[in-house]
Amino acid sequence: MEAAELEEVRRAAEGDDRALAALLQRHYAFVYKYLVKVTMDPNVAEETVQDTMIRCMENIHRYDGSSAFSSWMITIATRIYIDKTRRKKRENGWLDMIRSEAIRRFRWQFESRNEEWTDVMDAMTRLTPEHRVAVLLKHYYGYGYDEIGEMLGIPSGTAKSRTAYGLRQLRKELGEV
């Protein structure tokens, strides 16, 4: 690492806010571009780089200079992303369990009223909410794509593609492909 950057890190660790701001600004784009490649999602990359900057500010005193400052930041960014991914996976597992239980109860209520639970309804439970809503609004309630787009705050073309994708998934689930 350059002596000038090492001096800037030392000043930042001692509480010099300008030195810290300069360090973070200089490396921000590098870390962001790295995270875009890692996450393949600019929104997730932006959120993660913000978290990385905060963590770097909180832990600047722990940087020991044994590697490039940018490498230290990349290490922090990678760990934050991996932690978020693991947390999201656990959350999704819990949500899937809760969703499965809710569907089981819904199916039981349906059948207890002597109403038929069809294969189509079963397949609908496996669609994402966005696709399920689009399919229901179009094919059950008969709304047009413009109306669906207006209801959901999306372009009509997006409503059309969500409906088409949802129908494709339903056909696949029902073995009609």
Based on the fold, state whether residues 28 and 83 are members of the same structural domain.
yes
pLDDT for 123? 76
pTM comes to: 0.57
Q: For residue 56, what are the domain limits?
A: 3-89
Tally of structural domains, the chain: 2
Burial of residue 156, with CB atoms counted within 10 A of its CB: 0-12 exposed, 13-18 middle, 19 or more buried: middle
Model confidence pLDDT, tens digit, residues 45-77 = 999 999 999 999 999 999 998 889 999 999 999
Confidence of residue 118 (pLDDT cuts 50, 70, 90): low
Q: Residue 137: which CATH number?
A: 1.10.10.10
Whether 32 and 45 have beta carbons less than 8 Å apart is answered as yes
Model confidence pLDDT, tens digit, residues 24-38 = 999 999 999 999 999
pLDDT for 177? 57
